[in-house]
Amino acid sequence: MRVASLDIIRGVAVLGILAINIAGFAGPSIGALTPNLPHPAGIWGETAYAIGFVLFEGKMRALFAMLFGASMALFIDRAEAAGRDADLLQARRLAWLLLFGALHYALLWWGDILFAYAACGFIVLLLHRLPLRLLVAAALTLFMALHVAGLVANLPMVNAEEAERIGVAAPMQAQAVGRYYTYVDMMIGRELGQYAGGFVQIAATKLHEHPLWLIHGVRDGFGEYVPLMAIGMALQRTGFFAGAWSLRVMLAIAVGGTLAGLGATLMALDWLWPRHFPVIAMDAAVRYGLALPHLLTALGYAALLVLATPWLGTTGAGRRLGAAGQMAFSNYLGTSLVMTGVFYGWGLGLFGRVGPLAQWGFVALGWALMLILSPLWLKHWRRGPLEWLWRSLTERRLQRNRN
């Protein structure tokens, strides 16, 4: 039996992640950190970027990581209830996801997250039998320690960038900032050339120039993905997603988490926007400084959606969100196929030509496709095509998929 709230939250997350990933699809990749490279975006472009930054940046990634942990717990608990070797099945499931992620990176998009999720999932699998309080305490300690350390390590470069902006940088600061921006300019030029090419050229260039990209993604994301997956696992096992928590606690998380997280994000925006989203400061904020606000907002969003599920699930919009979430794996990879087809040289060749404001049009297109096609597919099939393939590979036999 499916957990309705998980499907709806997953649906919101898979739609929301496109609002952030679109900058990486449209290119160049630095556009995910600032709207003003390679060209100034203007007030409307910055406003369009700011909306995504406040509502979606980091929050959707945190939601996805917690949902991944919750799904792991659900899969393991159901397998154990059926008398099966749950850890072995989950390990096999993660191994196949590693392969899917590697293929996604090589064939479609550099921004794959599946490989890192699968690799971090193996770590969480080793920890899932810990007492829940110990698991959550360890997760939060790791999460805060690594993000605070990362922020402290990056503050000198943030200060140097700000000193350079106002014209008071020491020579060493100016040189460090200059080297950073020279590297950024070089990468922009490389990407503009690479992604104007054909399918084989793009894939070959990625594998030749960045063969360890996925491993670096695991390294960089470890401090976020592992703790959030562990928290998601604990939330699932304590009945959070099933609505078993008290209404008072759920309302406190829904209202308090959302307001606190968005409030902190708006405070950061108040500093970043007047400076036109400087790259070094944005990188430090997105990776480290706003980690806790991202977590708080994601928890708030999740609680709001759990509370809304009994009503939302009866509406057309809620059913479409649930269908999109039920097919989140297929929708995630399907989005990559559609968007790389729009922006890369083997498709319409719009890479580097669509600014932050116009990118929202492609987000709307992606949302419409997911919300329309997902329920149509599920009228005839039990699972999305990739969900079915993943399950069949995990079980080592073809699964029945016709309704």
Q: Which amino acid is at 79?
A: A
Question: How far apart are the C-alpha atoms of 402 and 375, rounded to whole Å?
Answer: 14
Q: Packing angle between helix 132-166 and helix 213-237, nearest 10 degrees?
A: 130
- Token representation of residue 94: 């993660």
List phi, psi (to 5°) of 381. -130, 150
Percent of the chain past pLDDT 70, that is, above it, reads 100
| Coil/strand/helix, residue 115 | helix
pLDDT one-digit tens code per residue, 180-218: 999 999 999 999 999 999 999 999 999 999 999 999 999
Per the CB < 8 A criterion, the answer to whether 105 and 214 are in contact is: yes
Question: How far apart are the C-alpha atoms of 128 and 137, rounded to whole Å?
Answer: 13
Work out the average pLDDT over 61-69. 97
- pTM of the entire predicted model: 0.96
CA dist 70 to 10, 124, 345, Å? 11, 11, 38
Per the CB < 8 A criterion, the answer to whether 265 and 297 are in contact is: yes
Length of the chain: 403
Q: Packing angle between helix 356-378 and helix 328-343, nearest 10 degrees?
A: 140
pLDDT value, residue 403:
86
Whether residue 293 is preceded by a cis peptide bond, meaning omega within 30 degrees of 0, is: no
For 95-108, the DSSP string reads HHHHHHHHHHHHHT
Cα three-residue angle 158-164-167, rounded to 5 degrees: 140
List phi, psi (to 5°) of 3. -95, 110
CA dist 6 to 32, 190, 210, 326, Å? 27, 40, 35, 9
Q: Which amino acid is at 31?
A: G
Q: Count each helix (H run) and each strand (E run) in the chain, helices first.
A: 17, 0
Residue 1: is its pLDDT beyond 70? no
pLDDT value, residue 3:
80
Radius of gyration of the CA atoms of the chain, in A: 21
pLDDT one-digit tens code per residue, 68-113: 999 999 999 999 999 999 999 999 999 999 999 999 999 999 999 9
List phi, psi (to 5°) of 245. -75, 160
Residue 163: is its pLDDT beyond 80? yes
Nearest CA-CA partner of 62 in 216, 246, 223: 223
Residue with the two structure tokens 């008398």 = 83
CA 374 to chain centre: 20
- Which helix H or strand E contains 71, and what residues bound it? helix 59-81
pLDDT one-digit tens code per residue, 312-360: 999 999 999 999 999 999 999 999 999 999 999 999 999 999 999 999 9
pLDDT one-digit tens code per residue, 227-271: 999 999 999 999 999 999 999 999 999 999 999 999 999 999 999
Cα three-residue angle 232-233-236, rounded to 5 degrees: 85
Residue with the two structure tokens 């943030």 = 158
Per the CB < 8 A criterion, the answer to whether 331 and 384 are in contact is: yes
| Coil/strand/helix, residue 16 | helix
Question: How far apart are the C-alpha atoms of 30 and 52, rounded to whole Å?
Answer: 15
